[in-house]
A and B are shown apart, each in its own frame.
Chain A
Amino acid sequence: MSGSGEPDRHQFSQPFGARPLRPYVITRGRARATRNTVGVETLLIAPDPTRELPVTASREERALVRMCGRLLSLVEAAAHLDLPVSLVSVLASDLIDAGYLTARSGAPRQAAPDSQLLQEVLHGLRGIR
């Protein structure tokens, strides 16, 4: 399953430098997100997926809103879009500003690793020495 997906992924994650759509076009020349609260772990969700994006919305933005029909972390979205996280955070910030996306910082309580696991990691790390 993943085997079939893999080669493709590599095929075009490699030549990112040689894509026709340059990064500055995707972000319209901006390197900074409008919100500094949007990080890789920020969870994104489209509050109203039926809301139409403006006609000038790019395909990346449309795809982003679409895939955020369910809660999705920024970094995952970036992976699906096959774009650098930094670019996606710019796009996501715009969409959040415009109200097409909602950000939830941090993972929900349930999703956070339980203390037991953390303990294990701690033990493990200590054990390395």
Chain B
Amino acid sequence: MTSAARPPRRSPSPWLVGALVAGAAAWARHRSAPWPDTQHLGGSWARIDPPASRTGNPPVLSAGPDPTAPEAEAARERRRVADLQRELEHMLKVRLPAALAGTRTPGADRPDDLAPETAALLEEMLSQIGTAMLEREESRRLALVELASRVQTSAHRIQQAMSGLAEKHPGDPDLLETTMRVDHAATQQARHAQSVKVLCDEWPGQQWPAPLALVDVARAASGRIVAFSRVQVTGDQTVASVPSVVEPLIHLVAELLANATEYSAPSAPVTVSVRGVQRGAVIEIDDSGFGLDEYRLAEAREIVSGRRLLNVGDVGEIPQTGFAVVGRFARRHGLTVDLGMSPYGGVRAVVLVPSRLIETVALPAPVLPPEPAPSPVSSPVPNPVLNPAPDPAPNSMFAPTPAPASTIEPPAAPTAPVTPAPPASLFEPHTPVGTDPAEPVDGADVQLPQRRSRRRDQTRPFGGDPAGRPRPVVSTAPATAPEEAGDWMERFFEGSQPIPVTPAADSPTETPSTDAAVNEPTTNDSDPEGEQSSSTTRKDAAQG
């Protein structure tokens, strides 16, 4: 983490200096020109020396009878030249740099010493320079933003294509590996493009729909840098960022991680820890590099905190955009970012996310049909088994996915009663009442036949009413293609083998279970079970 963005290196561009020189030259011409010109120039002189002006002689050349006149005149002349020179110096050293830096331009040094016309000319020059600068910078900014956006868009397309490809061929590790590589490269590309946009004062348009646990923010951020595998994330699994700052936070942390990994040994891990604090949550990033010397550290702190904003033009010839981007995000979203010495010897970056941007995603509920959770039967049973697991588990479910909004249910404080329920929902459907920790296998054993019996169950109506459209009954859940196919197959069986199928298939042991599924309170269970399996099937189909 030694990347200190260097101080803005601004030297007046040659053409500006040229303009000044030209101005000075023009002045020199005026100075030696005959009076109609000189009258325009130094007011004091013209005022003080009317006779000379009236004579029409160039003041410098005039040699009057009074011996003191030329001396006085020469003195005035010298003073005038000195005044102008001083004013030009002031312009070059103070006013012009200020105008170029876009800060408030100080006024003339001693405006009274100049002829009004001269002063006006100088002002005019300055304002023209300022306007030209602004216009130029704005058009450059727009062009950069546009180009960066295109790069970013194409990177996102690549990512999407790769994900699609990977999902199409789930069984091919070679292909999967390649898609990961391409995805990784594209992700970094998108980040660099977005950095440029941020430095151009343009903000990421991408938004994530759901809160994201800060540990996952850090992991997502690690995916945007080269050495993502060196990043080790630990910490509170339940603290999350509100959706609006998910993307900014990911990008900010990614830039800090990039610095941390680039400026420490290639094999050294970079540790990220997340913890909730009184005023929000803190993300700490430690590297074990050489750290920054005092001066650069101070400078870097100015930048990352957002106290000093750098533009895209300020980051230097070897652009070190990281800290500048961090600072801009920090300033915009009210994040507190600071750097310091790490106990590991390198730099420690600390990001404080204020509480207004923090949510809790305590719920470890998997992405399941949440309904069966409260089902009466389940809760007593699996609790003894599952309680221990969920408890230590702030194991909020893999909330990272953008959608968990629904799953996450902020109201759900990480209370014990809530936690066990979802797991119950997960497994309970398969579980015959009275399962013990030892029995999960049995539960699962039952689950599979149950699924089958459910089908058979549904076949009955078909048998009874072959002409009727049985499907509505079957597909209480949105009938997806595989389900329909299954139904069709079943009806097909019915047609081909009308005699024995249904009755014979229901073995004595199974019949009760199907009955239970239909009539008894366990109905609740069988239903979700069906959904679950069907969703699985769909997923499966999607995978395949």
Contact = CB atoms under 8 A, between A and B. Distances in A.
Interface stretch (B285-293, B325-333, B381-389): B381-389
Nearest to B222: A25
A59 B542 CA distance: 23
Given A59-B398, A84-B543, A111-B449, A16 B167 contact: yes
A15 B368 CA distance: 18
B345 interface: no
Nearest to B175: A31
Given A67-B366, A70-B444, A84-B166, A123 B535 contact: no
A120 B501 contact: yes
B170 A19 contact: no
Interface of A: 1-6, 8-9, 11-13, 15-25, 27-33, 40, 43, 45-46, 49-50, 52-53, 55-56, 58-60, 62-63, 65-67, 69-73, 75-76, 78-86, 107-108, 110-111, 113-114, 116-117, 120-121, 123-124, 127-128
A67 B493 CA distance: 36
Interface residues of B, number: 109
A86 B176 contact: yes
Given A63-B398, A80-B426, A120-B501, A6 B478 contact: yes
Given A5-B369, A80-B366, A49 B492 contact: no
B234 interface: yes
A107 B449 CA distance: 11
Nearest to A8: B406
A4 B406 CA distance: 10
Contacts of B212: 20
A59 B180 contact: no
A21 to B, nearest CB: 5
Interface in B416-452: 423, 426-427, 430-431, 440-441, 443-449, 452
B364 A63 contact: yes
Contacts of B477: 2-3, 6
A111 B451 CA distance: 10
Given A75-B543, A113-B452, 5 more contacts: A4-B369, A22-B220, A59-B396, A66-B390, A79-B532
A49 B166 contact: no
Interface of B: 156, 159-164, 166-167, 170-171, 173-174, 176-177, 179-181, 183-184, 187, 208-209, 212-213, 215-217, 219-220, 222-223, 228-229, 232-235, 237, 246-247, 250, 364, 366-371, 382, 385-386, 388-390, 392-393, 395-404, 406-407, 423, 426-427, 430-431, 440-441, 443-449, 452, 476-478, 489, 492-493, 496-497, 501, 504-505, 507, 527-528, 531-536, 538-540, 542-543
A58 B216 CA distance: 8
A69 B220 contact: no
10 contacts: A4-B370, A12-B403, A17-B161, A24-B228, A40-B543, A59-B398, A70-B444, A79-B535, A85-B170, A108-B441
A31 to B, nearest CB: 4
A105 B423 CA distance: 23
Nearest to B455: A117
A65 B393 CA distance: 10
B385 A85 contact: no
Given A66-B395, A81-B398, A86-B170, A21 B160 contact: no
A67 B398 CA distance: 11
A59 B216 contact: yes
A69 B437 CA distance: 9
A31 B536 contact: no
A75 B250 contact: no
Given A20-B400, A59-B395, A84 B167 contact: yes
A63 B160 contact: no
Nearest to B430: A70
